[in-house]
């Protein structure tokens, strides 16, 4: 019995048996099971589709660590820093609105005799400021565009008919790529965010100012956020610039100026008003080049990541500014200027129009008619066309065998008298060769 215990990885101690000390796995990933108890001979993975092949290749490249759940973030120093950055940005935005309304409009303007401008300035600034704050909340709280479940079901449904390419930092139109970190096949233009821990459709970048990814579903909100924040800063500066200069001079001549005394304006309020001016000026210096960069990419229908691709011309560039913006904002309408999802979108985030396609007015390739009764069937049809899914081969029906074929199949041999050179039995010889019986001649 003792040899059997040793062979099973169990040592005898004090008359009893207990498992032998577990060995430490290489790399410090924890203990492994005793030899002989759970160990199985290594087996090659069964590869039956491009997705299985991609998974097998990814398994050889990364260590076997516990995967993160979808949406789980890395709360490391970078994650905490992004939270602090977001809080500072949102706090500065709210500070600008509060100081403009409570100090500039209520006290500074009446103090200098410009009461007539209070209501027009209030309507102008608060309209833009409200849209900026609304856009910020939508950009931060919205789903940037996680890979939908219908796409995963589609991948499982078509199986090997869908070609899956390795992910590269280059244009890959019409190709599904495999994410080694998520372990899924993802659509074109989708990328993995290391901070959010998920793959995002048409990912642009991860923005620390909103502490969220900028992707297919909230790219419009991000562009509106930058635009409206810049407009709010310009409105605040241009409407308050004379008063900012006047208050700066009043603070520099406190002993000779009775401005703050006659109109009940406190020195602390003047200081807050000056800080408001410096913040607005700082926002203007940051947001102007940011908007110029992202607007330039949007007018080419490219993301921040794709802006560095040079393996081919941009296949998603529609040729002019307006059609490219429609790929992000949808067909032009009043919803362009509101932080809401496009009313008439031209893409579903999984597949995108190419510049060599002839599109109809609904954004679909010419020849395809939108079926409003079965939208999912229409969507799958479009995916099959643009991802060039190979048609599934129909299983061949076995040919009906005659009596001689059945007899030969049952006996396992063929008559030695059949001559290969006989023209009469040439057809039978071909059938025998197809069945793999070549030892008869």
CB 265 within 8 A of CB 108: yes
Show the DSSP H helices in 185-266 as ranges: 219-252, 259-262
Are 200 and 145 in contact by the 8 Å Cβ rule? The answer is yes
Ordered alpha helix ranges (H), 162-316:
219-252, 259-262, 267-298
Q: Locate all alpha helices (DSSP H) within 60-183, ordered by sequence.
A: 77-99, 109-111, 118-141, 149-158
CB 342 within 8 A of CB 224: no
Contacts of 323 (CB under 8 A, 6+ apart): none
Nearest to 339 by CA among 145, 127, 133, 87: 133
Helix axes 77-99, 118-141, angle to 10 degrees: 160
Burial group, residue 226, by CB count within 10 angstroms (0-12, 13-18, 19+): buried
272 catalytic residue (yes or no): no
Q: What is the DSSP letter of 370?
A: -
**Pair of tokens at residue 87:** 């809080």
- Give the span between the Cα atoms of 438 and 419, in whole angstroms: 12
201-205 CB contacts, 8 Å cutoff, 24+ apart: 201/144, 201/145, 201/146, 201/147, 201/349, 201/350, 202/145, 202/303, 202/349, 202/352, 203/144, 203/145, 203/303, 203/305, 204/294, 204/303, 204/304, 204/305, 205/303, 205/304, 205/305
Q: What tokens does 280 get?
A: 């607005």
Helices (H) and strands (E) in the chain, counts: 13, 9
Please pick, among 182, 199, 207, 247, the residue that the annotation labels catalytic.
Answer: 207
Tokens linked to 24: 């430490």
Classify the phi-psi angles of 386: left when phi > 0, otherwise alpha if psi is within -120 to 50, otherwise beta.
alpha
Separation CA 248–CA 240 (nearest Å): 12
CA distances from 126 to 139, 246, 340, 392 (A): 19, 23, 19, 59
Instruction: Please list the active-site residues.
Output: 207
């Amino acid at each position: 019995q003792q040899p059997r215990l040793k062979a099973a990885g169990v040592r005898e101690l004090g008359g009893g048996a207990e498992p032998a000390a577990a060995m430490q796995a290489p790399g410090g990933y924890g203990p492994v099971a005793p030899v002989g108890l759970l160990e199985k001979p290594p087996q090659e993975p069964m590869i039956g589709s491009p997705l299985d092949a991609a998974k097998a290749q990814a398994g050889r490249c990364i260590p076997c660590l516990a995967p993160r759940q979808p949406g789980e973030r890395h709360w490391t120093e970078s994650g905490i820093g992004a939270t602090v950055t977001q809080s500072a940005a949102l706090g500065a935005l709210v500070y600008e609105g509060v100081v403009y309304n409570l100090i500039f409009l209520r006290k500074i303007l009446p103090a200098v005799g410009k009461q007539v401008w209070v209501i027009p300035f209030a309507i102008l600034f608060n309209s833009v400021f409200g849209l900026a704050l609304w856009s910020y909340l939508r950009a931060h709280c919205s789903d940037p565009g996680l890979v939908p479940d219908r796409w995963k079901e589609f991948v499982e449904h078509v199986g090997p008919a869908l070609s899956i390419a390795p992910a590269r930092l280059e244009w890959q139109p019409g190709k599904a790529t495999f994410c080694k970190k998520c372990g899924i096949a993802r659509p074109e233009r989708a990328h993995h965010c290391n901070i959010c821990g998920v793959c995002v459709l048409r990912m642009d970048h991860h923005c620390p100012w909103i502490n969220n990814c900028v992707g297919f579903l909230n790219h419009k909100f991000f562009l509106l956020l930058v635009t409206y924040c810049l407009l709010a800063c310009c409105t605040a500066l241009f409407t308050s610039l004379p008063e900012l200069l006047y208050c700066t001079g009043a603070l520099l001549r406190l002993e000779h100026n009775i401005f703050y005394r006659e109109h009940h304006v406190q020195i602390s309020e003047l200081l807050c008003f000056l800080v408001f001016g410096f913040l607005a000026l700082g926002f203007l210096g940051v947001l102007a080049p940011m908007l110029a960069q992202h607007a330039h990419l949007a007018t080419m229908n490219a993301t921040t990541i794709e802006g560095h691709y040079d393996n081919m011309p941009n296949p998603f560039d529609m040729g002019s500014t307006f059609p490219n913006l429609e790929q992000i904002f949808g067909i032009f309408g009043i919803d362009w200027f509101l932080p809401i999802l496009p009313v008439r979108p031209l893409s579903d985030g999984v597949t995108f129009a190419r510049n060599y396609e002839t599109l109809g007015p609904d954004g679909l390739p010419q020849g395809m008619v939108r079926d409003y009764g079965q939208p999912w069937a229409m969507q799958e049809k479009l995916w099959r066309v643009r991802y060039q899914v190979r048609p599934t081969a129909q299983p061949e029906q076995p040919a009906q065998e005659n009596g001689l074929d059945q007899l030969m199949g049952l006996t396992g041999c063929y008559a030695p008298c059949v001559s290969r050179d006989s023209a009469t039995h040439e057809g039978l010889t071909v059938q025998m060769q197809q069945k793999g019986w070549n030892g008869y001649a």
